[in-house]
Amino acid sequence: MTCPLPDPGYLIKLKAQLKLDGEIVAESGSFTMGQELSSTTGITRMTGGWHSANNKPIAGEFYAFGIDLQGISAKQLESVKTRMETVKTKLETQQFEGLTKDGIIGDMLYAGALSYFAANDVNLKMLNKGKQALAYRQPSAGTFSTNLNPIYSFGVPRQVEMSGIMVDMDAVAQSLWSKNNDVQIANAIGQQVGMMTSAWEHRIPEMLFTNEENPGEAVSAVKALAIASAEGQRIYQVTQENVNAVLPVLNISSEVKDEIRASVAVGKKATVSQNNITVGGWTGVGYIIADPDTGAGAYRISGGANGGSFVFGMTTGFAVGVLALSMITGTFLGFLLAAFFVIHLLAIMAYSDMFDEGCFLLGFYVGFDIAFIIAIIRKAGNAEIKWEVATLVIALLIQNTWTAPSFGECGL
């Protein structure tokens, strides 16, 4: 879902709160809505040590933590189902007293997390009934959350809009053995289990949060790879031997390429499509990083718009802005304003897959104002007037770019 009027994030201050059964057990900080934060979640397992996951939540997002130690009980699912039915009844009868964001949003997200683990546990039980392998849940954890999309200007969250639901299962594990002690069978089944755990990351949100009246589509790593394959894209298996040949032909983000390079350098194997895919309003790539010795893997997606399109708009706008002022002098004020509005109109009208009008405007404002400052300084005879005018134009530059996308959004 998308909010029609994004909130001005810089005007809203928030605290980080951790709640258990609706009670606050910890809180800290004062953050601007849309501010990028940092978090570390850890869980210990029977194999010893801690499994840690580092993430960057956005201030204003709501997270529900799901924990699966040795299986999700029917009582847990029934409890959250009862609470959700109570909330539904109150909303339908407009009895809003006693309703909280924990009851409305929290239980909905928590139900998603529990459903995800319950579905995976059922898969393991079905696997155990077969003749090839045995699998048992190890302590696992993950989150269902709201997903905010902040728009920054000079590092400040200017706008914040709701972009959907996010599933992040950082620590899902099971102990798995083949019944005849065949390591290759265990690895193959481990990969199959990994595929299923990834698939549930899109299936559960689709089942819980979409229907005929509210259609939508979720994305997981395996779904993204399947879509890329159906589009005719080449799917690469990246290893230490071919990484230098494969990465240059991938049209994906540099962050994903860097992660793949670092992973294969320590013996992992990566599976990735050549290009990004688009599902609804999401654009990104699905990829898998696996241990070839055990079959264990990380199933990831990486979203976001194509950085190349933003760079094109930004640099083009900058060039046009400089050119516009280079062709005229400070005395032709009417022509100057006319040129400004014509180019401004063209910027609004122009749009394609390789062009972003917002970043064009940002580039134009920067180029135009920088050129204007230089022209004033060169032509003004009084040094004091020079710097007064220059200061005014700098203020206009800040005001203009405040209404355009941030430099970070435009690939700079």
Domain ranges of the chain: 1-218, 220-304, 308-402
Rounded-to-integer distance, Cα 367 and Cα 213, Å: 47
Confidence of residue 405 (pLDDT cuts 50, 70, 90): very low
Residue 376 is predicted with a pLDDT of 58
pLDDT at residue 373 in the model: 59
User: Quick check: 237 pLDDT over 90?
Assistant: yes
pLDDT at 337: 46
Three-class DSSP labels, the chain = CCCCCCECHHHCEEEEEEEECCEEEEEEEEEECCCECCEEEEEECCCCCEEEEEECCECCCCEEEEEECCCCCHHHHHHHHHHHHHHHHHHHCCCCCCCCHHHHHHHHHHHHHHHHHHHHHHHHHHHHCCCCEEEEECCEEEEEEEEEEEEEECCEEEEEEEEEEEEEEEECCEEEEECCCCHHHHHHHHHHHHHHHHHHHHHHHHHHHCCCCCCCCCCCHHHHHHHHHHCCCCEEEECCCCHHHHHHHCECCHHHHHHHHHHHHCCCEEEEECECEEECCEEEEEEEEECCCCCCEEEEEEECCCHHHHHHHHHHHHHHHHHHHHCCCCCCHHHHHHHHHHHHHHHHHCCECCECHHHHHHHHHHHHHHHHHHHHHHHCCCHHHHHHHHHHHHHHHHHHHHCCCCCCCCCC
Tokens describing residue 2: 């998308």
| pTM of the predicted structure, to 2 decimals | 0.69
Instruction: Tell me the C-alpha distance between 352 and 313, whole Å.
Output: 10
Q: Residue range 169-190: average pLDDT? A: 85
Average pLDDT over residues 190-210: 86
Task: Give me the pLDDT at residue 164, please.
Answer: 81
Q: Taking 80 as the threshold, does the pLDDT of residue 399 lie above it?
A: no
Q: Percent of the chain scored above 90 by pLDDT?
A: 15
CA 28 distance to own-chain centroid: 24
| Least confident residue range of 121-125, 131-135, 150-154 | 150-154
pLDDT band at 45 (very low <50, low <70, confident <90, very high): confident
The overall average pLDDT reported for the chain is 75
